Amino acid sequence: MMVGMKLYDISRTISEQLPVWPGDPAVKMSLASSLERGDDVNVTSLCMSAHAGTHIDAPSHVLPEGKSVDQLPLEILIGTCRVQSWPALSGIIGEADLQKHDYNGVQRVLFKNDISRLPEEYPSSSHSHDVSLGLDGAAYLIRCGIRLVGTDTFSIEK
Protein backbone atom coordinates (compact mmCIF):
# COMPACT_ATOMS: atom_id res chain seq x y z
CA MET A 1 0.00 0.00 0.00
CA MET A 2 1.20 3.50 -0.78
CA VAL A 3 2.00 5.71 2.17
CA GLY A 4 -0.68 8.34 2.64
CA MET A 5 -3.27 6.51 0.55
CA LYS A 6 -6.73 6.97 2.01
CA LEU A 7 -8.74 3.75 2.23
CA TYR A 8 -12.51 3.58 2.00
CA ASP A 9 -14.33 0.55 3.35
CA ILE A 10 -17.56 0.20 1.38
CA SER A 11 -18.61 -3.02 3.10
CA ARG A 12 -22.13 -3.32 4.47
CA THR A 13 -22.42 -4.18 8.16
CA ILE A 14 -23.41 -7.79 8.76
CA SER A 15 -26.55 -7.99 10.86
CA GLU A 16 -29.83 -9.88 10.89
CA GLN A 17 -31.37 -6.86 9.12
CA LEU A 18 -28.97 -7.14 6.17
CA PRO A 19 -30.98 -7.43 2.95
CA VAL A 20 -30.48 -10.67 1.01
CA TRP A 21 -31.34 -11.72 -2.52
CA PRO A 22 -34.94 -12.99 -2.69
CA GLY A 23 -34.96 -16.71 -1.90
CA ASP A 24 -31.58 -16.69 -0.17
CA PRO A 25 -31.50 -17.53 3.55
CA ALA A 26 -31.70 -14.60 5.96
CA VAL A 27 -28.68 -13.74 8.08
CA LYS A 28 -28.84 -15.43 11.49
CA MET A 29 -26.51 -14.56 14.36
CA SER A 30 -26.36 -16.10 17.83
CA LEU A 31 -23.90 -16.43 20.69
CA ALA A 32 -22.19 -19.81 20.49
CA SER A 33 -20.41 -19.06 23.75
CA SER A 34 -20.93 -16.20 26.14
CA LEU A 35 -19.02 -14.65 29.03
CA GLU A 36 -22.40 -13.93 30.66
CA ARG A 37 -23.18 -17.67 30.61
CA GLY A 38 -19.81 -18.47 32.18
CA ASP A 39 -17.92 -19.37 29.00
CA ASP A 40 -14.28 -18.31 28.59
CA VAL A 41 -14.99 -16.09 25.57
CA ASN A 42 -17.76 -14.52 23.50
CA VAL A 43 -18.13 -16.27 20.13
CA THR A 44 -20.80 -15.40 17.59
CA SER A 45 -22.21 -18.08 15.32
CA LEU A 46 -23.02 -16.69 11.88
CA CYS A 47 -25.19 -18.33 9.23
CA MET A 48 -25.62 -16.57 5.88
CA SER A 49 -25.43 -16.99 2.15
CA ALA A 50 -22.17 -16.09 0.46
CA HIS A 51 -24.28 -13.61 -1.52
CA ALA A 52 -25.40 -11.58 1.49
CA GLY A 53 -24.10 -8.06 1.91
CA THR A 54 -20.86 -6.92 0.35
CA HIS A 55 -19.32 -9.81 -1.54
CA ILE A 56 -17.33 -10.82 -4.58
CA ASP A 57 -18.84 -12.68 -7.48
CA ALA A 58 -15.82 -14.55 -8.79
CA PRO A 59 -15.75 -15.67 -12.42
CA SER A 60 -16.76 -19.16 -11.23
CA HIS A 61 -20.14 -17.71 -10.21
CA VAL A 62 -21.17 -17.54 -13.87
CA LEU A 63 -18.48 -19.42 -15.80
CA PRO A 64 -18.07 -23.19 -15.33
CA GLU A 65 -14.29 -22.96 -15.73
CA GLY A 66 -13.95 -19.54 -14.07
CA LYS A 67 -11.65 -18.84 -11.14
CA SER A 68 -13.06 -19.05 -7.63
CA VAL A 69 -12.58 -16.28 -5.05
CA ASP A 70 -9.54 -17.99 -3.49
CA GLN A 71 -7.86 -18.04 -6.91
CA LEU A 72 -8.20 -14.30 -7.58
CA PRO A 73 -5.07 -12.20 -7.18
CA LEU A 74 -5.56 -9.84 -4.24
CA GLU A 75 -4.22 -6.88 -6.22
CA ILE A 76 -7.34 -6.99 -8.43
CA LEU A 77 -9.52 -6.35 -5.38
CA ILE A 78 -7.48 -3.63 -3.68
CA GLY A 79 -6.35 -0.35 -5.17
CA THR A 80 -7.49 2.89 -6.66
CA CYS A 81 -10.84 2.94 -8.37
CA ARG A 82 -13.29 5.30 -9.94
CA VAL A 83 -16.65 5.69 -8.25
CA GLN A 84 -19.07 6.64 -10.97
CA SER A 85 -22.56 7.81 -10.14
CA TRP A 86 -25.10 6.50 -12.58
CA PRO A 87 -27.91 9.02 -13.04
CA ALA A 88 -30.79 6.59 -13.58
CA LEU A 89 -32.09 4.29 -10.88
CA SER A 90 -32.82 1.62 -13.46
CA GLY A 91 -31.63 0.50 -16.84
CA ILE A 92 -28.83 -1.31 -18.59
CA ILE A 93 -25.38 0.28 -18.93
CA GLY A 94 -24.22 -0.38 -22.47
CA GLU A 95 -21.12 0.35 -24.51
CA ALA A 96 -22.62 3.55 -25.94
CA ASP A 97 -23.22 4.86 -22.40
CA LEU A 98 -19.70 4.00 -21.28
CA GLN A 99 -18.02 5.55 -24.33
CA LYS A 100 -19.04 8.96 -22.95
CA HIS A 101 -16.48 8.50 -20.14
CA ASP A 102 -12.68 8.30 -20.16
CA TYR A 103 -11.39 5.06 -18.61
CA ASN A 104 -7.76 5.69 -19.53
CA GLY A 105 -5.62 4.41 -16.65
CA VAL A 106 -8.64 3.11 -14.70
CA GLN A 107 -8.54 -0.54 -13.57
CA ARG A 108 -11.49 -0.62 -11.15
CA VAL A 109 -14.87 1.06 -11.35
CA LEU A 110 -17.74 1.11 -8.87
CA PHE A 111 -21.15 2.16 -10.18
CA LYS A 112 -23.00 4.11 -7.51
CA ASN A 113 -26.73 3.80 -7.98
CA ASP A 114 -27.74 5.75 -4.86
CA ILE A 115 -29.64 2.71 -3.64
CA SER A 116 -29.54 4.15 -0.13
CA ARG A 117 -32.08 6.76 -1.27
CA LEU A 118 -34.71 4.09 -1.87
CA PRO A 119 -37.23 3.02 0.76
CA GLU A 120 -36.49 0.19 3.19
CA GLU A 121 -38.75 -2.22 1.32
CA TYR A 122 -36.39 -2.09 -1.67
CA PRO A 123 -34.49 -5.26 -0.76
CA SER A 124 -37.63 -7.35 -0.96
CA SER A 125 -38.84 -5.72 -4.18
CA SER A 126 -38.43 -7.03 -7.69
CA HIS A 127 -35.11 -5.19 -8.14
CA SER A 128 -36.71 -3.02 -10.79
CA HIS A 129 -34.44 -0.17 -9.65
CA ASP A 130 -31.18 -2.02 -10.27
CA VAL A 131 -28.77 -0.67 -12.83
CA SER A 132 -27.28 -3.55 -14.81
CA LEU A 133 -24.20 -3.88 -16.97
CA GLY A 134 -25.03 -5.16 -20.45
CA LEU A 135 -22.78 -7.68 -22.20
CA ASP A 136 -21.60 -5.04 -24.68
CA GLY A 137 -20.82 -2.71 -21.76
CA ALA A 138 -18.86 -5.44 -19.97
CA ALA A 139 -16.90 -6.23 -23.16
CA TYR A 140 -16.13 -2.53 -23.60
CA LEU A 141 -14.82 -2.21 -20.03
CA ILE A 142 -12.59 -5.24 -20.56
CA ARG A 143 -11.18 -3.66 -23.74
CA CYS A 144 -10.51 -0.48 -21.69
CA GLY A 145 -8.42 -2.51 -19.21
CA ILE A 146 -10.97 -2.56 -16.38
CA ARG A 147 -10.24 -5.53 -14.09
CA LEU A 148 -12.99 -5.05 -11.48
CA VAL A 149 -16.56 -3.74 -11.63
CA GLY A 150 -18.75 -3.19 -8.59
CA THR A 151 -22.16 -1.83 -7.74
CA ASP A 152 -24.15 -0.80 -4.68
CA THR A 153 -27.14 -2.81 -5.88
CA PHE A 154 -27.81 -6.54 -5.41
CA SER A 155 -26.30 -7.49 -8.73
CA ILE A 156 -24.56 -5.90 -11.71
CA GLU A 157 -26.39 -8.28 -14.05
CA LYS A 158 -30.08 -8.27 -14.96
From residue 36, give the alpha-carbon distance in Å to each of 32, 33, 43, 44.
Answer: 12, 9, 12, 13
Are the C-beta atoms of residues 58 and 27 closer than 8 Å to each other? Answer: no
Catalytic (active-site) positions: 61
Q: Cα separation of 127 and 102, whole Å?
A: 29
